[in-house]
Structure 1
Amino acid sequence: MANPKADFVLADIGTKQDFEPGSYAGAISVSCIQWLCHSFQSDHNPRTRLRVFFQWLYDVLSTDARAVLQFYPSDDNQVALIGKAAASVGFSTFFYVDNPDSKKNKKLFLICTFGQPTDPDSVIASALSEMNSTEHGRKLKNGKKGAQSRKQRVLNKKERQRSLGKVIKNDSKYTARKRKDKF
């Protein structure tokens, strides 16, 4: 049993922890659970470590609690793996994507609550479609995102500036054309 007077505990979240059941009113994790998807030692199995973590979390949370886990997935398989592990122990799961339009600032949140377990495949599919559908640009055959044309980028930027209330010159047939070099 963990020391009840301790302010913090240093432990590996992929291994079974010894806490009193129902002792926490909530849990928050920032950029932590994605590391359970990697094997840093030969005896680390990502599926097992995720299941152990979510089973421990399910045990220590009180029944009216919720857990909000923010992570940066490296690919869609990681989202599916984490979501299925959470749902398999009995959590009702929901994914929330913050800043879906941004590449650098996109954050994925997994919200786990008690209640009716959700179908993990439908929750994961909706999260993946929300993450992928809001990206701009066109997709190439190999799945990579292609670049927008120069004119389209300029027009999008001008539209954003107008929506912020800035005074922007009207579009013309010369918008986003390169000027001739006259040096």
Structure 2
Amino acid sequence: MSTSRPELKAPPEIYYDDTVAQKYTTNTRNQQIQAKMTERALELLNLPPGKSAMLLDIGCGSGLSGEILDEAGHVWVGVDISPSMLEVALEREVEGDLFLQDIGQGFGFRPGSFDGAISISVLQWLCNAETSSPTSSPPFRLNRFFTTLHASLSRSARAVLQFYPNSDDQGGLVVDYPNSRKAKKFFLCLFTGGSSSSEGEDEDNIERVQQGRGERGKKRKPPKEATKDWILRKKELYRQRGKEGVPRDSKFTGRKRKTVF
């Protein structure tokens, strides 16, 4: 097995320090890959068209996936174990609620809180034991993760988890570009009938990082006091992701139009 895989080098809260968090977030290729995988995860969630959903972004990092959820009109909550990643997310003023959370110890959300969940390149981190403690073993951490994730999802919700398995013969997966060594991506798609488990009510192991700025079911709007800055920032993000047809910047960008009676 290649030692180039980051989960084999150090625990995520150590590996993603201040330097790596900034470098990862500002890398154009990372932004494009993250955007494509998040869009694919949203597609696999198969949410009702035209409706805003409350989604959980597991391993949200600096909020790259959250921006895609924003663009799709959804409200989201993000959890991550790396303080440095969450600090970058705060600096970038992402729209979601953020929690500092070790997902291997389980979630503390109320049962049925989310209409769906996504995770990009995170699940493989739970397959490594960092200490000899029973609560650090992969079986324990995976059990806590899936049990409490199931409890936090609403009835008939889906969870789509993109990850990098140790081998290609692990079942239950959607595989994109199966014949490509570099482009191949694995998505674990889970379905739930809901849960009444009380495990989701234990909030002692979650640290709240940021208060959300929107109501469930309502699409986010740009802040009125910084409309032009908001538009310029979004246009730059679109350009970095390689989107075509982004309007050029001008002195008229963000200018209010006169009302015609």
Looking at secondary structure, tell me which structure has more helix per residue: 2
Tell me the TM-score normalized by structure 2. 0.35
Of structures 1 and 2, the larger Rg is shown by 1
